[in-house]
Each structure stands twice: as structure tokens, then as C-alpha cells.
């Protein structure tokens, strides 16, 4: 009951979905659309799971007065206020959007922008020609960076031999690079497929936990 039934359910569900996609007659019956809808409805029902988890973790922090417990308290307050307000007025409400645009958008945008800084410090530390592999990576990175900006055109114009810096960059991108990415993708497909099969065949059952 506790382990066998879930294992069978997973496999059975996978078979149903698989057939609904590949079989013509089942497509005619709109089986797939109905299954999709059922899955989406499950998402709709499960929307409070995240809130439940946060409430548990941060409630624990607050009750034990651990480090930063006041921040945890603030997190729960803002979460419930914003959630209840949003559910009452809808996400297109202008006041709701005002807060979204004033706080979430700039914080997210700035967090994203920090990547540029980390890139800078990482290139300083990582791109050192310790091994042949590291050297290759460094040279390619530097080459592409320069050829991507107007300076590259200025140093070795694209009208000259071999299409200039940009010409060589384009060759690297469209020949060896594209081949590597395709081969990696083939591997990823096979690996992902095998991972799916491991669950499908019930070989991997760690997610069902103990007992």
C-alpha cells in the first residue's frame, strides 16, 4: 500500500500519457487535453504548499528565537499581507502591480545585474593558463569577447582576410562549437531518457522514502 501502489501508479500514469500522445484515436477523443487539465487542476489545488513550507521553517526560527528571527517574522507578515491582498483584488490590480514593480522588479533586475560583477572577478581568477585546457578556454573566451564589440572590428576588420576577428569567431561558433553542443545534447537526451526510465521501471525508489 505504501510503496507498491505509488510505484504502480507512476508507471500506469506514464503509460496512459504516453499512449494519449502517440495514439491517433486517443488524440481524437481529446484524452490528452483532459489529462493536461487534470494535472493543471492539481497545481491549482496545491498552491498553498509553498506557503505551508515557509510557515513551518520560519515559524520554527521565530519560536526558537534563532539568528535573524525578526527577518523571518517580517517575511511571514509581508507574505500573508501581500497574498491576501492579491487574492482579493487580482494580480492585475494597479496597487498590487505598483508594489510588484516598485520592489520585486528592481531587486530582481539588480540581482541579475550583479552577475556582471561576478563575471569580472571570476575571469580574473579562473582564466589562468594553468593547463592546456584552461588556456584554450581562456583564449576562446577572450577572442569572442573582443570580436563581439566594435573594438574587434577596429583591430581586425571583417572586410579583410578570413573575415577578420568576427569571421574566425563565426567559424568557431558554427563549426566546432555547434558540433560539441549537438553531441552534448545527444548525450543529455539519452541520459535524461534513461533517468526517466529508471523511475518508470521502478528501479529508483528513493523518493518514496522509508516504510
Partner 1 sequence: MSVDGAVSGFITAIVLMVITWYYVTSARRGKQMPEIRKLPGLDAIDEAIGRATEMGRPVLLANRTADVGSVHSFALWGYMGYVAGLCAKYDTNFINIAGDYLAAAVNEEVIKQSYLEAGRPEAFKPDTVRYIPGDQWAWTSAVAGMLKRERPATTMWIGYFYAESMTLSEVGAQIGAIQIAATTNTAQLPFFVAACDYTLIGEEEYAASAYLSKEPMLTGTLVAEDVGKFIVVVVVVLGVIAQLVDPKANLISNWLKF
Partner 2 sequence: MLTQELQIWVAVVGTLAIFSFLIKENPFYRFFEYTVIGMSAAHSVVMTWDNYTKAFWTNYVMKGEYYLLIPGAIALLYYLRYAPGKYQWLYRYPLSLIMGYSIGYALAYEPRPFMVQVRGTFEKLTSFNDWLYLFVFFAVCSYFVFTFWNKSAAVNKTRGFARYAMMAYFGVAFGNTVQGRFSLLLGRLLFLLQDWLHLVNIGSGVG
Partner 3 sequence: MLEKLNNLDSRWMYLALVIVLIIPVIKPIGMPVSVNKDLTQRAYDTIGALPAGSIVMFDVAYSASTDTELTPMMMAIMEQMAKKGLKLLVAGQWESGLFFVKDKVAAKAKSFGWKYGVDWVNIGFKAGGISTFRAMATDFWKGAMGIDIDKTPFEQLPIMQRVKKLDENAISCIVIYESGSPGMETWITYFPKISLVKASVAAEIASSVRYIPTGQLKGLIPGMRGAAEYEKLVGKPGVSTQLMDAQSLSCLLIIGLIVLGNIAFFSSKKKAGHIGR
Contact residues: partner 1, CB under 8 A: 22, 24, 46, 49-50, 52-54, 56-57, 60-61, 67-68, 104, 107-109, 111-112, 114-115, 118-119, 121-123, 125-127, 137, 141, 181, 184-188, 190-199, 201, 203-204, 206-210
Q: Which is nearer to partner 1, 17 or 168 (CB)?
A: 17
Separation of alpha carbons 131 and 161, rounded Å: 31
Of residues 66 through 125, those in contact with partner 3 by CB under 8 A are: 97, 105, 108-109, 112, 116-117, 119-121, 123-125
- Sketch the per residue contact string, 52 through 71, with partner 2: x for CB under 8 A, - otherwise: xxx-x-----------x--x
What is the smallest separation between the CB atom of 115 and partner 1, expressed in angstroms?
A: 5
Separation of alpha carbons 119 and 170, rounded Å: 23
- Sketch the per residue contact string, 114 through 153, with partner 2: x for CB under 8 A, - otherwise: xxxx-x---x--------xxx-xxxxxxxxxx--xx----
In sequence order, which ranges of 64-177 are alpha helices (DSSP H)? 69-89, 94-99, 105-126, 132-148, 150-155, 164-172
Does residue 178 contact residue 191 with C-beta atoms inside 8 Å?
no
DSSP state of 93: -
Separation of alpha carbons 17 and 8, rounded Å: 14
Does residue 147 contact residue 166 with C-beta atoms inside 8 Å?
yes
Rg (CA), the chain: 27
Of residues 14 through 33, those in contact with partner 2 by CB under 8 A are: 14-18, 20-22
How many binding residues for partner 2 (CB under 8 A)? 124
Sequence-ordered list of residues with C-beta below 8 angstroms from that of 96, at least 6 positions apart, any chain: 85, 86, 89, 90
Q: Which residues bind partner 3 (CB under 8 A)?
A: 33, 36-37, 40, 97, 105, 108-109, 112, 116-117, 119-121, 123-131, 133-134, 138, 142, 145-146, 148-151, 153-154, 157-159, 164, 166, 170, 173-174, 177-178, 181-182, 185
Amino acid at each position: 500500500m505504501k510503496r507498491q501502489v505509488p510505484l504502480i501508479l507512476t508507471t500506469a500514469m506514464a503509460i496512459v500519457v504516453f499512449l494519449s500522445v502517440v495514439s491517433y484515436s486517443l488524440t481524437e477523443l481529446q484524452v490528452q487535453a483532459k489529462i493536461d487539465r487534470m494535472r493543471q487542476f492539481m497545481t491549482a489545488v496545491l498552491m498553498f504548499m509553498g506557503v505551508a513550507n515557509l510557515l513551518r521553517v520560519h515559524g520554527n526560527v521565530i519560536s526558537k528565537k534563532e539568528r535573524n528571527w525578526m527577518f523571518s517574522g517580517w517575511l511571514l507578515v509581508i507574505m500573508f499581507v501581500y497574498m491576501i491582498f492579491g487574492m482579493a483584488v487580482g494580480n492585475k490590480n494597479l496597487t498590487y502591480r505598483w508594489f510588484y514593480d516598485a520592489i520585486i522588479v528592481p531587486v530582481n533586475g539588480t540581482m541579475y545585474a550583479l552577475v556582471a560583477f561576478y563575471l569580472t572577478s571570476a575571469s580574473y581568477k579562473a582564466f589562468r593558463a594553468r593547463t592546456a585546457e584552461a588556456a584554450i578556454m581562456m583564449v576562446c573566451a577572450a577572442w569572442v569577447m573582443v570580436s563581439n564589440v566594435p573594438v574587434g572590428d577596429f583591430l581586425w576588420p571583417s572586410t579583410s582576410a578570413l573575415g577578420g576577428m568576427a569571421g574566425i569567431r563565426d567559424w568557431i561558433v558554427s563549426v566546432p562549437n555547434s558540433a560539441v553542443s549537438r553531441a552534448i545534447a545527444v548525450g543529455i537526451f539519452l541520459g535524461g531518457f534513461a533517468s526517466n526510465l529508471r523511475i518508470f521501471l521502478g528501479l529508483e525508489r528513493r523518493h518514496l522514502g522509508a516504510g
